[in-house]
Structure 1
Amino acid sequence: MSIRKEPQTRWAWVEIDQGALRRNTRAFKNLLGPRQRLCCVVKADAYGHGAPQCAKIMQAAGADMLAVATVAEGVELRRSGISVPVLVLNEPPLAAIDTLLEHQIMPSLYTSEFAMAYGERAVQLGCVGKYHMAIETGMNRIGVHYADVLDFRREIDFHRGIACDGVFTHFATADDINGWDYKLQCTRFDEAVAAMRDAGYECGIVHCDNTPASILDASTHYDMIRAGVGLYGLHPCDATHGAIKLDPVMSVRARVTRTAHPAMGEGVGYGFTYRVPRTRVQICTLPLGYADGLSRTLSNRMEVLYRGVRIRQVGNICMDQCMVAVQQTPVCQIPEAEHGDVMTIVGRDGDSEITMDEMARLRGTINYEVACGFGMRLDKVYV
């Protein structure tokens, strides 16, 4: 396997395929009409892929807006040179108002207390604070209740220090666009937006689609879609797999730091949950563990790729290391590994591939969590 780049200080890393990210961004852009916008969600360090670098690629590929979860994430984008609008997908603490205004980061807004404080400070600084109004339509997480939108706008719209740049909601069941719950949220959102417009209130950019709804329901694209996990080549649900072509962006690789041939019956790792069988087995150590996102629940249950062949992970996964076994079988005569050989934890090697979805199923979770975990500590290499 040819590795173009890797970190100098550790033999474990994440590879980010910039070409795949660019293609995925354009794939979502191509879902839209000429007047519709694309908001790319880069919260949680772009789902573990590296927010500043990914945001620059997305901006160049057509992103009209970026969305984050925290004010600090927005500031990081601004300091990296991002110029498109940045939206925080919840209402921050009052103490964050100065930072929002300084860096021209828009908050989501759903309490009059925050709205008034935001507007007052904007007036003091001689500017206008833009915001997006979150509307609660059924997920029961954040937002102004859909039945209270007019009362809320009456409370805050007199203030000259704030301006509504958009209104939005978030779907709880967009993987089932024919379901009653999804349709009810759509109806509630449509009615809330119509009520505000009929009353003369500015709604700005109207948006509600997350990744699955963006792919599966063009009728709810409105003025903008918010693409998230799909940008990184990960499907949010089974229904989207045949509807759009997405290329995986993240691979996880490591080099062998030690090889050994323990005697039959010897244990491997904490608790000796694996013991060497009668046949000759080579035990190889890889320098990544559960602190790097390789969940301990995968111990003795997962596989990695070596020379395009699947080999078993053995023993309990440690905080910073794990072990794998190279073993000859009648149907697979694979060469033993050497110190420094590359193994693939997630990604493609030859004709074989281990996906985030496979790892998520083994862990009983979703691919979102797997990707975010790998991105927390491993160095990122952009290829």
Structure 2
Amino acid sequence: MAAQDIPNGFTGFANRKPGFEPASASVGRTPVGAYTTEGTPLSGVPSTYGSGAQGAFQYARDHARPDAGAANFDPDKLRLIPATDRRWAWTEVDLGVVRHNMTALKQHVGHGVRVMAVVKADGYGHGAVRCAKTALNSGAEYLGVATIDEAIELREALVNAPILVLSQPPMEAIPLLLAYKVMPSIYTPDFAIQYAEAADAYSIRAPYHLAVNTGMNRIGVRHDEVVEFMSQVSFHRALDLVGTFTHFATADAPETLDFHIQTKRFLEALQAMKVAGFDPGIIHAANSAATIRYPDVHFDMVRPGIALYGLHPCQETRTMIDLRPALSVHARISDTRLVPMSEGVSYGLNYRSPGSVRICTLPLGYADGMRRGLSGRTDVIMEGRRFRQVGNICMDQCMFEVDLRTYGTRRRIDPQIGDEVLIVGRQGDSIVTLDDMANMLGTIHYELSIGFAQRMPRLYV
């Protein structure tokens, strides 16, 4: 790669069409298997789809009527079949809500403090590209990711804001950092020098952020060794220290002692750098919890992640800022049946019908983020009412129960195939939240939010 090969922008990497959403790969793409019955690919179908489904059309040919000609499928018509008609389970992300949350965070930190929108893990399951663009249009100035591939996805979607990889990537990935203009976090001298040498070979700068370990002990230069580290690497003319940061381990905890110890160590490290003549650049430390709870650590920039998507990082923040969940999970009933009294439902037959109930099947399961540990412990919402999920949640399907008996003035519901059901979200006075599910499972809503993005189509509203 010659120096002139390093792009001065990112249009050269825009191989995807605008609006392409990797997490929703089924949306708008020609399905694998777009072949004629003669086994040849249909015109206009990308060769990257391979021949894995060619056998499906071989099957169609083998079972064709003797008096029929070859079946031809129009790929353009196939593409028009909506994602929600290919599978009756999907997630919805309200970008207006993401915009609201970003605006609320900007107002909370006030003027003079930049916001890095953290969009790692595909925007916590909400879609990195669309959420990044929405956040930038709503006041964010920086983006944070966990991996180089996450950064490249943003660049190929023509996102030109500064991007920081919140860890130090492998040395072998240094050319990608330089080519896509992505900043790494650095905390080892060897990586710093290799990064600088590679940049110098192309006569370009090597910008980075210094990660400081103040007590979380995950990554970073130890807080009392920062000056020594800088003395080892700062001689290189290509290195450009753009920012210095740390990460809090307990900003979301009721106990504050450890948080204040980390803050003290970070301030001491920054002061030591300045005394030694090193400019720390953009100083940042606050994750979502610290952004909302502790204005003293806003510094030059804050790094909200989960709060951007409307999920509170801890109980203490709920009264401090108006955040609204952007994600909801939907499905349509794929089967209904009356199950006689005492007969079981799903693997293990752990649930037994009490009689006078209709069992409804939904086409999503633990492979879609509907965790198996929720079996019999969560509800779904239909027509504004909650209904109990029953039976073990399967890999691809789960069931819920509708009581057909009439109680007083309660309206009877007769569910039908195709009726829409809400798995996560609010409808009328009924609500099921990721927090509810996380509490049942003994985990955090981060994990569930990311899990629901595993393979369901994602729609933006």
Scaled by the length of structure 2, the TM-score of the pair is 0.81
Q: Do 1:64 and 1:85's aligned partners in 2 also have CA atoms closer than 8 Å?
A: yes
Q: Do 1:177 and 1:216's aligned partners in 2 also have CA atoms closer than 8 Å?
A: no
SS of aligned partner of 2:200: helix
SS of aligned partner of 1:7: helix
Alpha-carbon offset, residue 178 of structure 1? 6.4
* Residue in 1 that maps onto 2:426: 348
Name structure 1 gaps, 5 residues minimum: none
Choose the corresponding residue for 2:288, options 211, 216, 233: 211
Choose the corresponding residue for 2:404, options 314, 318, 328: 328
Choose the corresponding residue for 1:135, options 209, 212, 222: 212
CA deviations 1:293-315 (Å, max 9, x no partner) are 01000111111001111101111
- Distance in 2 separating the partners of 1:296 and 1:183: 39
> What does residue range 220-235 of structure 1 map to in structure 2 within 5 Å?
220-235=297-312
Alpha-carbon offset, residue 353 of structure 1? 0.9
Choose the corresponding residue for 1:33, options 89, 93, 110: 110
* Residue in 2 that maps onto 1:309: 385
> What does residue range 216-255 of structure 1 map to in structure 2 within 5 Å?
216-255=293-332
- Distance in 2 separating the partners of 1:106 and 1:177: 34
Alpha-carbon offset, residue 45 of structure 1? 0.3
> What does residue range 120-131 of structure 1 map to in structure 2 within 5 Å?
120-131=197-208
Moved more, 25-34 or 235-244: 25-34
Name the count of aligned residue pairs: 378
Bigger Rg, structure 1 or 2: 2
Alpha-carbon offset, residue 179 of structure 1? 1.6
Question: Does 1:375 pair with 2:422?
Answer: no
Question: Does 1:337 pair with 2:415?
Answer: yes
Question: Does 1:102 pair with 2:179?
Answer: yes
SS of aligned partner of 1:181: helix
- Distance in 2 separating the partners of 1:150 and 1:177: 33
- Report the residue type matching 1:327 in the other structure: D
CA deviations 1:346-374 (Å, max 9, x no partner) are 00112211111011111111111110100
Q: Do 1:17 and 1:250's aligned partners in 2 also have CA atoms closer than 8 Å?
A: yes
* Residue in 1 that maps onto 2:347: 270
The 1:21/1:6 distance shift into structure 2, 3 A limit, reads farther
SS of aligned partner of 1:358: helix
Alpha-carbon offset, residue 276 of structure 1? 0.9
CA deviations 1:53-92 (Å, max 9, x no partner) are 1111011111110000000000001111111100000000
> What does residue range 270-309 of structure 1 map to in structure 2 within 5 Å?
270-277=347-354, 279-309=355-385
- Distance in 2 separating the partners of 1:133 and 1:7: 45
Question: Does 1:22 pair with 2:95?
Answer: no
Question: Does 1:64 pair with 2:152?
Answer: no
Alpha-carbon offset, residue 175 of structure 1? 2.1
- Report the residue type matching 2:432 in the other structure: I
- Report the residue type matching 2:95 in the other structure: Q
* Residue in 1 that maps onto 2:58: none
Q: Do 2:208 and 2:243's aligned partners in 1 also have CA atoms closer than 8 Å?
A: yes
What is the RMSD computed on CA atoms of the aligned residues?
A: 1.2
Question: Which one has more relative contact order, counting CA pairs under 8 Å at least 6 apart?
Answer: 1
Which of the two has greater strand per residue? 1
Q: Do 2:109 and 2:291's aligned partners in 1 also have CA atoms closer than 8 Å?
A: no
- Distance in 2 separating the partners of 1:204 and 1:185: 19
Question: Does 1:166 pair with 2:243?
Answer: yes
Name structure 2 gaps, 5 residues minimum: 1-81
CA deviations 1:128-170 (Å, max 9, x no partner) are 1110000000011000000100000000001111100100000
Scaled by the length of structure 1, the TM-score of the pair is 0.97
